[in-house]
Amino acid sequence: MAEGFDGDWLALREPFDAAARDEGLARILAAHIRASRPHLLDLGAGTGSLTRWLAHFIRKPQGWTLADADPELMARAFDTMQEAAWEMGWAATWPGRKALLVHAPAGAWRIEGVLCDLAEAPHGLPLDKVQAVTCSALCDLVSEAWLERLAAALAARRLPFYAALNVSGRERFAPPHVADALVARGFARDQRRAKGFGGPALGPAAPAAIARAFARHGYAVHRAASPWRIHRREGEMAGTLAAGHAEAALAHERRDWARVEAWRAARLEQAARGRLAATVGHEDVLCLPAT
């Protein structure tokens, strides 16, 4: 079973994800999807943040299948989707109680969910029923073998693949701290450990690995930077991010645990006082089959 995520963390990061994703790639994908009512499959959908963001670019009636292994996150995704629709002044209904229908001005979004262990992908995925496959903050967790299987399955059906927010290995906290390099080293090691997808995680190698895997199948590959930029006034996010980095580093830098703990304490104090900023590098990758 692949690793899961906390719903509160996904909710905290959602506005930063939305601000970071490259809109140019989203528009290219939307232009490529020619079906009058396209259906998209979102892998590792979590609370549905990518669907809520990307659906606005497609601007026509559309369907989505959210795929995730966590039933609590799936339930939260539909609750959040409905609340987001209401905030926009749109109706959200449950015809037949099998799918949520969001009545967007450019055409309704029909959203359904499927619970599945993504470690087994592409097995169990409804690839024959969709016109594109998407994911966000997923591919840096998977193994190269997993990615190769997915690329082959999508290529067999000539499906576009859009993978947003893959870590690139470029992280920086400000102001500087003497233990920054130590924590960064431990965090980088943690990014490459196995996370339930059949081998070591790709971590910062994910963008290049996605490009290679799909290019081998004749896909055109588009890449764009999508960094998080966390300002000093955003103390909750900055502090949560620093705490996560320290926790990951501690698993791999046990001899220097005291230095890592000192770094964590200093960073949390700075975040609480509105003095901690951070930049986390990501890259979006869009792979389009030859036309």
Looking at domain 7-170+199-231+279-288, its CATH superfamily turns out to be: Vaccinia Virus protein VP39 (3.40.50.150)
CA distance 115 to 73: 10
- For 108-129, the pLDDT digits (tens) are 999 999 999 999 999 989 999 9
- Whether 230 shows a pLDDT value over 90: the answer reads yes
- Whether 153 shows a pLDDT value over 70: the answer reads yes
Give the length of the chain.
Answer: 291
DSSP 250: H
- The secondary structure element, H or E, covering residue 24 is helix 23-32
- What is the bridge-based pairing of β-strands 132-136 and 161-174? parallel
Q: What is the CA radius of gyration of the chain?
A: 19
- The secondary structure element, H or E, covering residue 9 is helix 7-20
Task: Compute how many other C-beta atoms are within 10 angstroms of the C-beta atom of residue 209.
Answer: 22
| pLDDT number for residue 253 | 86
| pLDDT number for residue 3 | 55
Mean pLDDT, range 214-236, rounded to an integer: 97
Task: Report helix angle 235-250 to 7-20, nearest 10.
Answer: 110
CA distance 244 to 222: 30
Q: How confident is the model at residue 280 (pLDDT cuts 50, 70, 90)?
A: very high
Q: How confident is the model at residue 25 (pLDDT cuts 50, 70, 90)?
A: very high
Residue from 145, 140, 157, 137 nearest 120 by CA: 145
| pLDDT number for residue 291 | 75
Q: What is the largest CA-CA distance in the chain?
A: 59
- Whether 213 shows a pLDDT value over 70: the answer reads yes
- The secondary structure element, H or E, covering residue 79 is helix 71-87
Report the SS3 class of residue 35. coil
CA distance 241 to 277: 10
Residue from 122, 196, 187 nearest 155 by CA: 122
Task: Compute how many other C-beta atoms are within 10 angstroms of the C-beta atom of residue 231.
Answer: 12
Mean pLDDT, range 4-9, rounded to an integer: 80
Task: Compute how many other C-beta atoms are within 10 angstroms of the C-beta atom of residue 234.
Answer: 20
Question: Sign (positive/negative) of CA torsion 40, 45, 51, 54?
Answer: negative
Report the SS3 class of residue 112. strand
β-partners of residue 68 are: 115
Question: Sign (positive/negative) of CA torsion 209, 13, 76, 54?
Answer: negative
